[in-house]
Structure 1
Amino acid sequence: MRVVDAEAVAAALDWPRLVAALRELFACGATVPSRHVHVVQAPGAEPVTSLLMPAWHGPYYGLKAINIAAGNAARGLPGLHAVYLLFDAATGVPLACMDGDELTARRTVATSALAASWLARPDARRLLVVGAGRLARRLPWAYRAVRPIEEVQIWARRPEQARALADEWRGQGLQARAVDDLEAAVRRADIVSCATLSTAPLVHGASLAAGSHLDLIGSFTPEMREADEACFAGARVAVDTDEALRKSGDLIAPVAGGVLDPTAVVTLQHLARGEAGGRQSAAERTVFKSVGMALEDLAAAILVHRSIAPAQPERSSPPEH
């Protein structure tokens, strides 16, 4: 069994290939049982949410264990830690143990980029990133794999974090700057991508421009929200999995309030298979909400495995008689 560290995972998951791998597996489909959710309570500490996420397709079976600790920000630690195990589905033999943090971060933002390939305007050039954590720092690069992003703005609750990340991006060749006025930045953005752990709406529908695309990565529980109900009014809405309608506070509230018709929400599988269309017009507002699913992890893990596995020797031709 190979142990694949974060650096090797990142090297294997370049954005164009990862977006393509996700598109392919969403179209093919995979067996994705319900995730197991456990609340781990250590003495004197805030609870940790632990998820076990299995999936299998073809010759591969994968399992991710992911721990989410909202209190880690105060400790100066990332809020998410994970490990991914990939097995041979026919024999159960372990093939690889991968850094799940890097795999999760990359597949999450690449899934948003995949959604944007159907939902964002083809000429979308101005990206607003809301948040400055592990996911946020990767968003511009993933989006540039599918849209001609030229300008990136970033807002965060801690302005110094936004400024530091904007400086980092500029050093890497992006036209990037931190902003203090979130509402004004939302109004001029072609794509607004939220990657926070907020429990109250940060983006309001009244501020979204016609033709804009809203990407909501952060909330994964009924108590978490990054957008208000007005963001969904009159918008075309897609999700990575229909579980999002039950798990995400961003969707639960507008559905309960009659703002969002759940039967009109499409999944990435619908889009990948051509069973539903993406953006219908340049003026249409679109929203993508992800909560993460094991199919996404499996697509990324298979790509990593195929990238690092030694080439198999060609089988010799059978002798002629």
Structure 2
Amino acid sequence: MPSPDVSFYCCPDPACHRAALIAEADGLRCTNGHVFPFASGTDVPVFAEAATGGSEYSVTDAAELHDNALRWLFKTFRTDEATLRRRLIERLDLAPGQSLLVTGAGAGNDLPYLAERMRGRGTIYAQDIARPMLLAGAARHQGTLRDMGIDARFSISDATQLPFADGAFDAAYHFGGINLFPDIGAGITEMNRVVRLGGKIVIADEGLAPWLRNAEIGKQLIANNTLYAYAAPLEHLPETARDAKLSWELHNCFYVIEFVVGDTPLPIDIDVPHVGRRGGSIRTRYFGQLEGVDPQLKEAAYAEAERRGLSRVEFLEELLLAATRGRTT
């Protein structure tokens, strides 16, 4: 078994403030004493895992069940796996030598296509909370990816509490499964946290485009699998996201969200004054609202502002300044 590289891992316990981990013979340990064992016979650390049998992904033959579901998917939507996965991965704008995180990696079906896009140079960390799926993915792909020149690492962990340092990766990718996260917002927040400034994040899962939800085919799909009723969780994107895009694949039945990681407020100047009768700015119109007054008095004030050739905001501010200084106009 190769010596584990722990350079990207950190303790996920909030009290440890992402403390670095130390590699030992049977697992990883943080300086505060938390131990994360390797799954038996592997170099795959276990940080958190779903209960055995708790879902179709955490049963012994989960990977085989998932393979069968994928065969149905591609046959039903009349496409092939390679075409779809390459179209999704293309959105990541990956370059050779980069580091990539794959959340909800499952049995690792995307990994060969990601390695292909990275042209055999780089680092891929794949995580999933379902032990049977993740271990199947490691068994299927770890050796092949390493032969291709990719440093492939796997962990059994919680995507809503990732064991990685801030800004550790150049990009993050998720295809299938985020709809089932107990906290979708936390999952997206964590992906955003561990990707560097300017890095790309791509998220895709079942979810019909809005114009299909009440169509007959849409109703049939939702009756077959309620996940198709999910909407793209755009409300959970960080407000610092840049270049956000929403599209659909598989005949508008799978949403795809992509965005670039930012760390500063949007460059919107909320102090540019409006020219016109009302006046003010975005800031003053939002933060400077006054208590309600008699409607007739308000209209009289507006008329007086117009008579004086002032905007309403200028006139009211003039009155308020005079009043606070103990004077009247």
Normalised by the length of structure 2, the TM-score is 0.39
Instruction: Choose 1 or 2 for highest CA Rg.
Output: 2
Give the structure-1-normalised TM-score. 0.40
- Whose relative contact order is higher, 1 or 2, with alpha carbons under 8 Å and at least 6 apart? 1
